[in-house]
Structures are given as structure tokens and as C-alpha cells.
Amino acid sequence: MDKLKKRIADAVCSHIAGMEGVPAVPAPAEIEAALEVPPDPALGDLAFPCFRLSRTLRMAPPAIAAKLYEKLGKAPPQGVSEVSCSGGYLNFRISDAYLSGGILGEIAERGRDYGAHDFGRGKTVVLDYSSPNVAKPFHIGHLGTTVIGHSLKLLHEYAGYHCIGINHLGDWGTQFGKLIAAYRRWGDRERIEKGGVDELVALYVRVNNEIKAEEEAGKTELADASRAEFAKLEHGDAENLALWEWFKKISLAEYEKTYKQLGITFDSYNGEAFYTDKMPEQVEILREKGLLKLDNGASIVDLSAYNMPPCLILKSDGSTLYPTRDIAAAVYRKRTYHFDKCIYVTSAGQSLHFAQWFKVVELMGYDWYDELYHVPYGTVSIGGEKLATRTGNVILLRDLFAAAVEKCRSIIEEKNPSLKEKDETAEAVGVGAVIFYYLFGNRMRDINFVMDDALDFNGNTGPYAQYTYARTSSILEKAGPFEPRAEKGALEEPERDLIKTLSLFPEKTAAALEEMEPSVVTRYIIEVCNAFNRFYQACRIASCPDGDVRAFRLTLTRATHDILGRALELICMKHPDQI
């Protein structure tokens, strides 16, 4: 569709240039970007709103449309069968020959690569996402950064970028002092080895509750002990370092189970602790450039000139903070990976934090400051209450996935008990249902998580998309070998609609990247499913008695199969051939 839009834009600009007294001719890219789909299909397949040119051409939109129609109506651009004007709109109907032989022919030739781009070729992108805190379980609040981040990685790879996925583990900080203090008081090694991260969470919740109770009683014994244990850890105490490494090992074993279900791997697990010895260099650069100021003993970078609070670099006791670590990490990644983009996927609540240290990087003189991107997303709550590990108000991802998978398994047992690989299919559909639910809306949308809604298998859901994909697989399998055929005379409306929808895939993947918004692909998947199912209901495919029409419709079905499968993969979803 992009090629046709460019052809239309070139033709419009050419005719504008031929008008008398035109003060300026718009760029073809401006016309191309303004082309839209008319609300009524009877008007055409594409429309140009001429009001966009009224100021430039000093004419009323209907007059512009009429003048352009005088020329284009007689000689439509190649691939356009009819041009019309309605009010201030110039409408174009795509020819059936272009839709079938042109667009479908290209999809049939490129297959699963039809929506791919090459504008990322030779460029590197670093993506920092997921990044759970060690010794805490994966809960629904971690799903956003994990699936949004990985989907963006897949989309960048699809556009030709070389991608580095980094899991910046939260493996440092005062919480480890609390956990070590709790383990020394109440921990049991054998019990933790058996219970895994759940036992670590229980200790963490208990120590926080005990500290809170002490504070209410005017005591600080446990809080003081926790700070002392972290201080020992920071100074390299062998016993505390061994405990810290053990906590990490237990946590990663748990996280890997979830990543396996999601089909996610990382290139690096370097967490906060990795950058401890890399921060002093950056602090010294800040000093040398005169950017550090003392504020009640703490070292800050004053950002008042940029309408932001000060960025804290060092506490009054000289210890570092998150901005210090993030700056050191960014410098290390630039030196190591030579990135063209470094993307951070975290909750919108951290937007100020990223804006602050991005600005500090700029003030430090690093000329790659504009290659840093923060991709925020909305919050997740349960029953309107904010998630919090320390209080235990969470829905663990493993429990959520288990519930979804169990529901899928029961449906399969009822509807298709003879299905092979029932367990694998149930997991693919159950986990996919949760992912699709999360990625369907704009990433900035706040979600009040409701289990029943996530596992609703009707409507615009993951199971509906996966079932549609499985339907295309079944049709193609039952049809057997066939000679692909993209050409057809007059197209029936469901055929036209499906080809037009499939033709949008390159635009959708490009838009998803431009907006850093996987939901563009998720919503497009539903458009493809709806268009294919209308086609399936209206047109005989494998059973069509006309051999040429049968081959054409099977080619169209395979095109849907390829694009739908690839689109599902781009949002971290599996697509079983049978459900």
C-alpha cells in the first residue's frame, strides 16, 4: 500500500504544480502522510482531505478537490481504477488488478517478511526491560515492562536493527540489608532451597512488618541491624556477599521459568551491582565540570533551569543513588555496544527520574544524550489498590498463567479432546490470553486488573486471534499442495477487504516502532482476524469448484496465515496450528 500511496501523492503534487498561480507546491511526503481511509467504503479506498492545502493554495477545499479531479479523474494513477470528489475530499478506489496481482502478489512472494523493513540495517539498539528486583517474585506489575520491552525488541529486529536485550536486575540496595538481617534471625537454608523465592518473599514481608511494628513502639533495633548488614555487604563482607549471590541464584531460577513461558531470552543480566565500580568515574566528571553542588551534605545537580527538581548523585554519607548507577550504566553500554538507541521500558512513575538523568548526561557533554529513550507505561492495580510486595498485595504471574492455562485445558478437553499436544496448546493459549489482554490497549493506560476480563475468551482476545490462525492452518493443511495464484478478475468485497487489511502490515509495524507502541500491532491483529473470518464465511476456499479461484483464495489464506503468525510473534505470542 505504501507504493500506491506514494504514486498517488506524486500525481497530486504534479497536478498542483500545473495549476496557474499556485504560490507553493507541497512535498509528496506531506500528501502521502495525509491520505486516509474514508468512513464509507462506497466513497473509495483512500481519500485526500484537501482542506490541508487550502491555506497554501489560497482556495476552498471543495474547489481544490474539483480542480484535482479534472485531471486525475481522466487519468488516474496506476493502480487506481476510479477517482471521485466529495466536498473537500478527493477519493481513490484501488483497482482489483492492483490488489490481487500487485499487493497479494508481493505478499505471496515475501511471505512472513512482508511487513519487515530495512531502515535499521547497520544500527544497534540496546533495550533495558523486565529488570525485576532480586528476591521478589514476578507479579502482574512486572508484565508491562517485560512484554512491552520484548515486543519492542522484536519489532526493532524486524526492521533490521541489531538488538541487545538487557535485564538490569535490581540486585543492590538497602532491601538486601533487610533480607540478610531477616535470614539471620528467622531463615532456614534447607527450607529456602526447597521453597525458593517464595520463602525469600516471606522473610522480606516479615522483616518489613517487624520494622514497622518497632517504629510504632519507638524502637529501631531491626532497622539499625538491616542498615548494618547492607553496609557490610557494600564493604565486601564475605558472608554477606555469599548470601547475596545465593539470593540472586534462587531468584533467577524462578524468573527463568516465567521467561521460558513467554519465550524471552536476554543478552545480559548485568544488574545494579555490576556498575558499582563504574560510578566513581562519572562522579568525578561531574565534579570536574562543576555540575555537583552540595545541598544539606548531599551532592546534587541543579536542574532548576530546566524546570526539574535537583538530581541526587550522592547521599550525605557519600553513597550512590539510582541516577548515579543509571548514568554509569549508560556510559558502559555506549562504550560496549556503540548503540544508536538505548531504550528503557519502565512505569510512567519513573518518568521524572529518567528526564533528570538524561539531562545530566547531556550537561556532562556526552553527545549521544539524544539516543536515550524512556518508554513509560501505566500502572496496574488490583481492586483499585496499588501493588506492593512488602504487604503481599500481588497477583503472581505464575499463578495467573496457571489459572489461564487450566481454563484453556478444560475448554480443549470439552471441545477437542482428541487434540494432540494438549498441554503445550493450553499453555500457549492461556499465557497468550494474558499477554494479549495487557498489550491491547495503549501502553499509557492504567489497568485495574480483573482476572475474569483477562481470561474472557470472547471478543477481541488472544484466543480469538490464535483460533483464527489455527483456522488458516487447518484450511491449508486440508487443501494440500497447490500452485499459488495472486491474479483474479473481479474481486468479491470480502476478498478486497482482506487484501487491503493485509496490505497495511508494513505501515503498522513502522507505526508501532515510531510510537514505541506494541498495541498498534495487537489491534491490527484483530483487524486481520475480522477481515479473514468475513472472507471465510462468505467465500468457498478449498471447496471452490473453480480451480483458478480456489488457488487464488488459498493464496490469500496463506498470506493471512503468514502475516497473522508473524504479527502474533511480534507481541510475544505463540500460535499453535491446532486448538
Q: 205-230 pLDDT, tens per residue?
A: 999 999 999 999 999 999 999 999 99
What's at 403, amino acid-wise?
A
Burial of 108 from C-beta contacts in 10 A (0-12 / 13-18 / 19+): middle
**Angstrom distances, CA of residue 453 to CA of 407, 436, 449, 459, 527:** 13, 12, 8, 11, 20
Report how far Cα 93 is from the mean position of its chain's Cα atoms: 34
Q: Are 398 and 404 in contact (CB under 8 A)?
A: no
Angle, CA of 559, 565 and 569, to the nearest 5°:
145
Three cell numbers, residue 128 = 533495558
Cell numbers representing residue 247 in the block: 539470593
How many degrees, rounded to 5, is the angle at CA 195 between CA 262 and CA 430? 25
The pLDDT assigned to 386 comes to 61
- Provide the H-helix boundaries in 111-173: 143-158
Strand, helix or coil at 330?
Answer: helix
Query: Is residue 235 packed enough to be buried (19+ CB in 10 Å), middle (13-18) or exposed (0-12)?
Result: exposed
Helix (H) or strand (E) holding 425: helix 422-439
The reported pLDDT for the residue numbered 14 is: 92
Largest CA-CA distance found in the chain, in angstroms, rounded: 88
**Pick among 2.40.50.100, 1.10.357.10, 1.10.730.10, 3.40.50.2300: CATH of 416-570:** 1.10.730.10
Residues of the chain predicted below pLDDT 70: 382-394, 451
Q: Could you confirm whether domain 124-276+321-391 is CATH 3.40.640.10?
A: no
We find that the CATH architecture of domain 2-94 is 2-Layer Sandwich (3.30)
Per-residue model confidence (pLDDT) at position 399: 87
The CA distances from residue 410 to 88, 173, 416, 438, in Å, are 55, 44, 10, 23
Report the alpha-carbon angle 360-365-367, nearest 5. 105
Partners of 124 in beta bridges? 162
Whole-number pLDDT of residue 446: 87
Distances (CA, A) of 121 to 23, 116, 347: 39, 11, 29
Which residue, among 100, 105, 94, 81, has the nearest Cα to 488 in the 3D structure?
100
Residue 388: predicted pLDDT = 55
Dihedral in degrees, nearest 10, Cα atoms 409, 413, 414, 419? 110
**How many Å apart are CA 540 and CA 549, to the nearest integer?**
9
CA–CA separation, 35 and 30 (whole Å) = 9
352's CB contacts (< 8 A; 6+ apart) are 308, 309
Domain map of the chain by residue range? 2-94, 124-276+321-391, 416-570
Q: Of 344, 346, 343, nearest to 379 (Cα)?
A: 346
